[in-house]
Chain A
Amino acid sequence: MILPIVRTGLIALRRDRGALALSFILPIAFFTIFAVIFGGRRDTTPKVSVLVVDEDHSSASQRLIQGLEREGSLSVKKRPASKQGAEQPDYTAATAEGAVKDGTAPVALIIPHGFGENPISFGAPNQNRPTIQLLKDSSDMVAPQVIAGLLQKVAMTSMPDIMAEQGSKYMDKYAGGFTPEQKKKIDAGLEELRKRTSAERGGQEAAPADSNRGMPIPVTTRDVVGENKNDPMVSFYAAAIGVMFLLFTASGAGGSLLDEAESGTLDRVLSSHVTMGTLLGGKLCYCVLLAFSQLVLMFTWAWLVFKVDFMSHIPGFVVMGLSTAFAVAAFGMLLASICSTRAQLGPLSTLVILIMSSVGGSMFPRFLMPEAMQKAGLLTINAWAIDGFTKVFWRDEPVSHLWPQVLVLLGVGVVLFAIARRLARRWEYS
Chain B
Amino acid sequence: MNNRTISTIAPEPGGLAAVRGWFGELDWRRYVIYIGFVVVFAFFAVLLRDQGFLSPNNLLNIFRQTATITVIAVGMTYVIACAEIDLSVGSTAGLSSVCTAMALSQWGIIPGILAGLAVGLVVGSVNGALVSLLGIPSFLVTLGMLGIAVGVAQWITASAPQPILNDTFNMIFGSGNFGPVPGLLVWSAVFVAIGAVVLSRTKFGRQVLATGGNRTAADFTGINTKRIKFQVLLISGLVASVAGMLYAGRLESGRFQWGAGDELSAIAAVILGGTSLFGGAGSVVGTLFGALLIGLINNGLILAGLDSSQQQVVRGAIIILAVALARKK
Q: Do A and B come from one complex?
A: no
